[in-house]
Amino acid sequence: YDITRERRYLDFAKSIVAGIEREGSSQLIAKALKDVPVSQRSAYPASWWSFENGQKAYEMMSCYEGLIELGRVLDDPLYKEAAERTAERIRRDEINIAGSGAAFECWYGGKDKQTLPTYHTMETCVTFTYMQFCRRLWRDTGNPLYVEEFERTMYNALFASMKHDGGQISKYSPLEGRRQPGEEQCGMHINCCNANGPRGFALIPKMAVATKEDGIFLNLYVPMEATVKTGRKNAVALKVETDYPVNGKVSIGVEPQRDEHFKLSLRIPSQVDGAKAFVNGQEQEVLHRGGYLCLDRMWKRGDEVTLEFDLQTKVVKSYNHQAVVRGPLVFARDSRFDDGDVDECAVIRSDERGVVQAAVHENMSGSFAWITLEVPAVLGTDLEDAANKTARPVRFCDFASSGNDWAPKGRYKVWIPQTLHMMTEPYRKY
């Protein structure tokens, strides 16, 4: 309809929605407005791989993407509201620490179950479609929360799906275990995830920098050069130099073809513990994290913006398990470090804020990992030996690097069981 303006296409789209909302059908709009959890929007199917199964995560999000588009054409905010409410339920109930979710391709209340070993989790089709859903919602709302979700999924679940040589995409990328190719489908030597994984990588530049009516938005801090057009038919070249999220330093060169007054909005990630911003060396006020720093000024050739983010390594806990994070990155133990059993229980040492004093190494010589952390931890259940009472460095790597050789004998793990210590007060909650 957008291309041809022929009414029959719009009528067909509306008839699809009418079918969706019929009594006994999936009723995606009505259930979204009633805030029904996505894992409960369809009855448990008698046959899993059938049209009875309405919990399919990839397909459900795609339906809401279509509703957003229809709402835009009809100028009806109801469709976007249904999509936003659904995205919030997905984020709250389903998306795990690495930015993906689902098991056997379906929603299952997975965020609360992510510390449990689970069959067939984090299908790459779900990973990509969640990124696409977030990007479409950001385009229509400007809410930086969707960029933050996109970034977390990109650095962790998406990057983890690709084999280290770039030659293959995994069908599933669980939070523990190993990765491997998926089955061949439809008489071809590929499957759905081989097709959708690259689409996720192709979305990155589209989300990284974008324009709206109120100016230019820099959403992702990756090394890049981009040229964007302003509303006054001016071209602005942006050059971003950074090692983020290894460290928090970002340099942004701004080169308009001609001087122009416009707004440059820079996202300040909520995962950083502090942020500073400078324009040509002059410090700017950063009011809060998780939003945008809007620089509304006359821009000239040679202008430079610098950002300084405070990145700290932290431990997060869930159901007597621990995971290590740094900025948007999740980390995992990997058997290739050969520094103990990756499944062993441990107590990761941190302060009362959860901050871990970890050594950070990027691209260590001879290492398989992009980023390696040396995390202080007390391993195992034996405290009789005085030496074991002292934490020792245990190596973690970024989740994307963990298990990236797909070796059958390899193993990695994100959630580490926390050893119970009954002589401390917190044991009582267990």
Decide: residue 75, CB within 10 A, 0-12 exposed, 13-18 middle, 19+ buried.
exposed
Is pLDDT above 70 for 2? yes
Q: Do residues 304 and 256 touch, judged by C-beta distance below 8 A?
A: no
3-state helix, strand and coil shares in percent for the chain, rounded to the nearest 5: 30, 25, 45
Average confidence (pLDDT) over 77-105 = 97
Q: Using one digit for the tens of pLDDT, what is the confidence trace for 272-329? A: 999 999 999 999 999 889 999 999 999 999 999 999 999 999 999 999 999 999 999 9
Is pLDDT above 70 for 406? yes
51 pLDDT band, cuts 50/70/90, is confident
Distance between CA atoms of residues 48 and 418, nearest Å:
35
Q: Using one digit for the tens of pLDDT, what is the confidence trace for 21-36? A: 999 899 999 999 999 9
Percent of all residues in the chain with a pLDDT value above 70, rounded to a whole number: 97
Is pLDDT above 70 for 425? no
What is the SS3 assignment for 147? helix
Please name the residue that has the structure tokens 């061949």.
184
86 pLDDT band, cuts 50/70/90, is very high
Average confidence (pLDDT) over 240-266 = 96
- What does pTM read for this prediction? 0.95
Count of C-beta atoms within a 10 Å radius of residue 68 = 19
Q: Using one digit for the tens of pLDDT, what is the confidence trace for 182-208? A: 999 999 999 999 999 999 999 999 999
Count of C-beta atoms within a 10 Å radius of residue 11 = 10
Predicted confidence at residue 389, as pLDDT, reads 67
Is pLDDT above 70 for 426? no
Distance between CA atoms of residues 122 and 182, nearest Å:
13
DSSP annotation string for 203-250: HHHHHHEEEETTEEEE----SEEEEEE-TTS-EEEEEEEE-TTSSSEE
Q: In Å, how far from its chain's centre is CA 48?
A: 28
Predicted confidence at residue 386, as pLDDT, reads 53
Pairing of strands 260-267, 275-279: unpaired
Predicted confidence at residue 364, as pLDDT, reads 85
Token pair, residue 347, equals: 């107590």
Average confidence (pLDDT) over 387-400 = 86
Predicted confidence at residue 427, as pLDDT, reads 60
Please name the residue that has the structure tokens 């030496």.
387
Count of C-beta atoms within a 10 Å radius of residue 83 = 27
Is pLDDT above 60 for 114? yes
Predicted confidence at residue 388, as pLDDT, reads 53
In degrees and rounded to multiples of 5, residue 376 shows phi and psi of -75, 125
Residue whose C-alpha is closest to residue 170's, from 150, 202, 192, 199: 192
Predicted confidence at residue 428, as pLDDT, reads 58
Is pLDDT above 60 for 430? no
Average confidence (pLDDT) over 110-130 = 97
Rounded to 10°, the helix 144-153/192-208 angle is: 130
Residue whose C-alpha is closest to residue 329's, from 213, 197, 156: 156
429 pLDDT band, cuts 50/70/90, is low
